Amino acid sequence: MLTTLKTHFGYDKFLPLQEDIINTVLTGSDAFVLMQTGGGKSLCYQLPAIKLKGLTLVISPLVALMKDQVDSLQVNGVASAYLNSTLSYAEQDRVQMKASRGEIKILYIAPERLATQSFQDFLRYLNISLIAIDEAHCISEWGHDFRPDYRNLRSLREQFPRIPLIALTATATEQVRADIVEQLDLKNAKHFVSSFNRSNLNYRIEPKQRTFDRICNLLDSHKGESVIIYCFSRKNTEKLAKDLQLEGFNALPYHAGLDVEVRRQTQEKFKRDQVSIIVATIAFGMGIDKPDVRLVVHADLPKSLEGYYQETGRAGRDGLPSECILFYSYGDKFKQDFFIDQIVDEKERLQAREKLSQMVNFGELITCRRKHLLEYFGEKWEGDKCDACDNCINPKEEFDATEITQKILSAVIRTGETYGVSYIVDVLSGSNTKQIEERGHNNLSVFGIVKDFKKDELKLIVRALVAKGLLEKKGEQYPTLCLSGVGGRFLNNNESIMLPKIFRTIEVAKSKGIGELDYEVGMFEELRALRKRIAEQAGVPPFMIFGDKALQEMSYYLPQNLDDFANISGVGEQKLGKFGKIFLSVIQNFCKTNNLQGKSIPVRRSSTKERSVKRSGGTYDETKRLLESGLSVAQVAKERDLAESTILSHIEELVMSGQRLNIEHLRPEDISLKKISRAFYKSGGTALSPVKEILGSEFSYEELRCARLFL
């Protein structure tokens, strides 16, 4: 698997959980995968697809992402295709013909296609070995992005009961997880839940004041980098994009109301770095697998924490430090309320209101935002600080809030604990409204007793008291305030309280990522320009040539030959052959001009495997001892009561670890070795499946694996 990983994807080791998930799939078991954005979900079905004999069917709701995935796989030498509404009938026929002939390893389809009987009939003719369902949360009505077409996916389980099924998502609460498993009828599925923590993201919330000026300042600090700005409405989207253009920023709007072709072109320009800033509604981003977005801004309040997590998750998918900034105003809640009120189904309406309430609570947090986010998704976070959100990096200055708290709690009690925040603030501020006069609340002792806080500040303090537990909210649509037990004790015992000074504008420096390299910036920019030129010639987005992380490593280690270049993360055999020499030429010229030398690149092979190979008395030692006594692979397997494939894996690991191993007696006959050698050369790589397709049934997979040891 590590060989296949390096050959096709350029990586030397797996990310957390990937290897276990892939092993589960390869043994024919169902799997449920909940993995953070950027955690490597796609590889969990793409790598098994290469190793399995038949076709892997991938269901994805994201038309634009299908093309990105297929383009990327093809660049990496994996036969793949997609079927969706963007293809002509003739193109669809060609794809289906290739799939039926076994010429495609991975086929992406949209869920709507499963609703047609003709397509279900077509599936019967395919040799399907794995079914992957991406964005699986779309099947759950409890999820934030429910899609009725996903209900058709249950038919796949009925049609292919013995084919392993893997369901993958990045955002799902425990309720949604259970619903996915039930709806897809996953059989004894193994559950893999990675951490929701995106350690490279810096979360920050600022008051919604002078928003446009501050967005411009942010864009100045991210000049030339990819940025997404989310707005509430189509109108806001177009206005902000136009205003940014007038300020000289390379920005375009994106929303569902634009012409399909305009949206497609905008996405392509963004992916290819021809436009750096997209101002969008939430319609943008789900179909964009762009790894190098450095800044995500929410100019308006998202409607749920799931949506916020998913949208901020479009930043820093390559693992490099990135910023997520939300401009918060409680007033934005009322825009969302208007649309929630239009929801006919009462259950759905109450659910939407609860989700919005959770988003408001997040906006008004005075504690660690990362901790709150993780705990919302059911993940315990040890400690109280993350050092990568505004509340942790710049704790707000506190003030003695004892007196103002006493006044607020008294006003809540004296008005009968039946009014909301705005009404209580009006009473305390002495507003002569019609409602206050009619109810006689202008005669209360608390009327007009607060002169040293503005109304907006008072509202924030009230909500801080709710967060602290001194006040409670009752009701959903029009919540009212009442005193809690904690608030009652506070008044009765004359207790004191300190509260943070709510919302100071703080410019937070970008957090430095763990292990971030101090690379040559000039080199990075030259390589970035080269990448863009090559991508334009190839007709693909630049990140499909090499990601920012790979360019940063090149700019730090400055490899001087192809062997060193091959050790850069993200450089597989395909890309080494296609791009190695031209990138090396630019690096060598830069080093010559600036009198620089290359650095030694650490080999990042899986240390766990190496340790287990070298451990005295381990399973590898036993295999080695039996082999060196002259036994064949079949005889060693029988002696150890293991599969032949396991013994071959032992041999491969022993060879890769650099140990001397006397296995000359396993060498195939010269005529066979020559045939196999030519087939490997023709396939252009070291993967077995393409060689097996070339040679047919003449050699088994075990024979090919054995021969590969001597090539």
- Give per-residue pLDDT as tens, 385-439: 888 898 888 777 788 989 999 999 999 999 999 998 889 999 999 988 888 988 9
Q: What is the pLDDT of residues 381-398, one digit of tens each?
A: 877 788 889 888 877 778
Domain edges within the chain: 2-193, 201-392, 398-500, 521-593, 667-711
CATH class of 201-392: alpha beta
Q: Please check whether residue 166 is in contact with residue 52, taking contact to mean a CB–CB distance below 8 angstroms.
A: no
CATH C-level class of 398-500: mainly alpha
**HEC secondary structure over 336-378:** HHHHHCCCCCHHHHHHHHHHHHHHHHHHCCCCCHHHHHHHHCC
Question: What was the pLDDT predicted at 407?
Answer: 94
Q: Is 2-193's fold the same as 521-593's?
A: no
What integer pLDDT is reported at residue 603 of this predicted model?
58
| Orientation angle between helical segments 63-75 and 260-271, nearest 10 degrees | 40
Neighbours of 411 (CB within 10 A): 25
State the pLDDT at residue 495. 92
Q: In what side-by-side order are the strands of the sheet with 322-328?
A: 201-207, 322-328, 293-298, 226-230, 277-280, 251-254
CA distance 288 to 256: 15
Residues 6+ apart with CB under 8 A from 52: 26, 129, 130
CA dist., res. 428 & res. 415, Å (int): 11
Q: For residue 59, give the nearest of 143, 162, 182, 180 by alpha carbon.
A: 180
Distance CA 36, CA 45 (A): 16
pTM score of the predicted model: 0.59
Say yes or no: domain 521-593 is CATH 1.10.150.80.
Answer: yes
Domain 2-193, CATH class in plain words: alpha beta
Enumerate residue ranges in the chain where pLDDT < 50. 503-515, 604-617
* Residue owning tokens 């410019």: 507
Contact between 155 and 114 under an 8 Å Cβ cutoff? The reply is yes
Strand (E) or helix (H) holding 322 = strand 322-328
pLDDT at 404: 94
SS3 28: coil
Instruction: Report the distance separating Cα 707 and Cα 335, nearest Å.
Output: 67
CA distances to 36, 429, 439, 491 from 407, in Å: 45, 11, 19, 10
